[in-house]
Amino acid sequence: MTSVALTARDLARRSQAAAGAKDRDAWLGLFADDAVVEDPIGPSPLCPDGHGHHGAEAIAAFYDTVIGQVEQMRFEIERSYLCGDEVADVGSIHITLAGGHAVQVCGVFTYRSDDSGRIAALRAYWEFDNPGNGS
């Protein structure tokens, strides 16, 4: 039996589903050991130096301090462009924070797969000071 390789889009959907389900192990299991998460790209309170979260330990810490702290998270992908081993998803993330405060993050979310069928990079283009700005 031949296994079908996962595309970057497949990995993106699995990542989004695991984050939405708050399934830490499933989400972390999608990443290559040397992967990078830049969410958002550049300096922000989530990554003051702006260089991203590199490697399994740093990505796990990102999950614990960001994704793990939200009450609910739902992805709404409006468009998706698969090119080679990368996908760019255009859409929004609907987040409910502790206390019921709702936030919508509009942006472009890219995922790159590696040769082993895992996520090598997750990069998110969105404005930290204006997360709902989709213009």
| Per-residue tokens: 11 | 């990995």
Tens digits of per-residue pLDDT, 103-130?
A: 999 999 999 999 999 999 999 999 988 8
State the DSSP code for 36.
E
Tens digits of per-residue pLDDT, 54-95?
A: 999 999 999 999 999 999 999 999 999 999 999 999 999 999
Residues near 115 by Cβ (< 8 Å), separated by ≥ 6? none
pTM score, whole prediction: 0.93
- Which option is the CATH number for 8-125: 3.10.450.50, 3.40.50.1110, 3.40.50.300, 3.30.1370.140? 3.10.450.50
Could you identify the residue written with the tokens 């609907």?
A: 94
3-state secondary structure of 104: strand
